[in-house]
Amino acid sequence: MDLFADTPIALPDAELQFLPHWLDAATAQAWFRQLQAETPWQQPELFIHGRSIRVPRLLAWYGDAEASYRYSGLEHRPLPWTPLLAEIRGRIEALAGQRLNGVLLNYYRDGDDSMGWHSDDEAELGANPLIASLNLGGTRRFDLRRKGGGRIVHSLELVDGSLLVMRGATQHHWQHQVAKTRKAVAPRINLTFRLIRGRA
């Protein structure tokens, strides 16, 4: 038993809870395989300064019908919940203590796949959103820095079966990334559950 397993991460102006062993290894592997196989993965193209760039990972967005979401500058209508994603959502809602109506799936095929610095601060998430992020498959490093740049202040190894919950003002003050790596890394699927609030 790891006594420090669920110790909160003490960063100023952030509320982070990391549960490294949230899921047992057999369930994590079964979920990874099923999601890898059954998800209609997409690799959207972005247009930045007149150039087209493919997002450096694969994505899918699921949710309740009202949970339309903009990410990477594009509007996405949700796919309907699969039985597996609905089950995972229920378990994470129970832990988070709140409703969650959408989930972004990110598939990092290898160390070339990545997610750049950002905060989850889109308007439709409202102030102080709770983001619950489940990790399946290969371990990747998750870095945090103050908004506005500067050095990496804290890093976490997001291991298979772990859950990271970000709450409170975290997204106002901090950015996160999953950088490319030259290390040999196994494929990884990350699921970030969110609550999309209706537009005014």
Ligand X SMILES: O=C(O)CCC(=O)C(=O)O
* Binding stretches for ligand X (CB under 6 A): 104, 106, 115, 120, 133, 142, 158, 176, 178, 190, 192
The residue range among 70-78, 81-89, 113-121, 137-145 that interacts with Mn ion, by the rule CB under 5 A, is 113-121
In the complex, the smallest distance separating the C-beta of residue 1 from Mn ion, rounded to whole angstroms, is 30
The residue range among 22-30, 32-40, 118-126, 181-189 that interacts with Mn ion, by the rule CB under 5 A, is 118-126
> Across the beta sheet with 15-19, what order do the strands follow?
15-19, 163-167, 131-137, 188-194, 102-108, 58-63
Contact 176, 119 (CB under 8 A): yes
Separation CA 190–CA 68 (nearest Å): 19
Q: Which residue is nearest to Mn ion (CB)?
A: 120
Separation CA 28–CA 33 (nearest Å): 9
Separation CA 100–CA 88 (nearest Å): 11
- State the burial class of residue 92 (Cβ atoms within 10 Å of its Cβ: 0-12, 13-18, 19+): buried
Should residue 120 be labelled a site residue for Mn ion when binding is judged by CB under 5 A? yes
- Extract the runs of DSSP E, i.e. beta strands, from 20-55: 45-48, 51-54
Task: Count the residues of the shown chain that bind Mn ion, applying the rule CB under 5 A.
Answer: 1
In the complex, the smallest distance separating the C-beta of residue 120 from Mn ion, rounded to whole angstroms, is 4
Q: Residue 190 binds what, of ligand X, Mn ion, none (CB under 5 to 8 Å, by partner type)?
A: ligand X
In the complex, the smallest distance separating the C-beta of residue 178 from ligand X, rounded to whole angstroms, is 5
Q: Which residue is nearest to ligand X (CB)?
A: 190
In the complex, the smallest distance separating the C-beta of residue 1 from ligand X, rounded to whole angstroms, is 26
- Residue position matching structure tokens 């494929």: 187
Contact 169, 114 (CB under 8 A): no
Q: Residue 104 binds what, of ligand X, Mn ion, none (CB under 5 to 8 Å, by partner type)?
A: ligand X
Should residue 156 be labelled a site residue for Mn ion when binding is judged by CB under 5 A? no
Q: Which residues bind Mn ion (CB under 5 A)?
A: 120
